[in-house]
A and B are shown apart, each in its own frame.
Chain A
Amino acid sequence: AQTVTQSQPEMSVQEAETVTLSCTYDTSESDYYLFWYKQPPSRQMILVIRQEAYKQQNATENRFSVNFQKAAKSFSLKISDSQLGDAAMYFCAYRRGGGSYIPTFGRGTSLIVHP
């Protein structure tokens, strides 16, 4: 079974600085997708960034970027120029490709942004 591990229960960062959230996963599949979701106090999960395993290039979305290390099964999220609105729970998620739909989420990392 696939597992997703987020080893940092909580991280903090100063406004305007950079923070990296860690995620590792375990799978024997070669076709899969990785995601980072943000869950603010409103409880609504919001997709931050997505990475296809077959793509070597790391995904980037404005201030958010990932460091995808396929061999090491590592998928970290870097948030640059942190803003107060970035404060939330962040979940790393894995989904097998080939038509499978069942996602696996990590336990989450709580990000605190200090003004």
Chain B
Amino acid sequence: DAGVTQSPTHLIKTRGQHVTLRCSPISGHKSVSWYQQVLGQGPQFIFQYYEKEERGRGNFPDRFSARQFPNYSSELNVNALLLGDSALYLCASSLEGQGSRKLFFGSGTQLSVL
């Protein structure tokens, strides 16, 4: 079975643009979460979706939004990009939305904002 897949792997944008990152969970997993990992730091939680509903939101501005589709894949959208949005964006999936469940991570999308 394929693991969590994220696309694209790398992306370069300029300030003010918007970006869409995509994530496909492991088959059968209904929960997807998104994280931002700035260089030299640990991942920071952005969103969690379970059964297409938002279940958790981290401390990020409204420029960040996400959604989950009927096939459980997910998109993370960031509008009006800032230099500080440059980071590795990780997606993780799990069978259910419970906090105890094991997370399976993708290899991330490296976003560079110039």
Q: Are B108 and A50 interface neighbours, CB within 8 A?
A: no
- Report the nearest A residue to B56, measured CB to CB: A101
Number of interface residues of B (CB under 8 A): 26
Q: Could you tell me which residues of chain A, from 70 to 115, have a CB within 8 Å of some CB in chain B?
A: 91, 93, 95-108
Which positions in B face A, CB cutoff 8 Å?
3, 33, 40-45, 48, 55-56, 58, 88, 90, 92, 97-100, 102-103, 105-108, 110
A-B contact count (CB 8 A): 60
The prevalent SS among residues of B at the interface is loop
Is A47 among interface residues, defined by CB-CB distance under 8 A? yes
Whether B42 lies near A91 (C-beta < 8 A) is yes
Query: Nearest chain-A residue to B44 (Cβ)?
Result: A105
How far is the CB of B26 from the nearest CB of chain A, in Å? 13
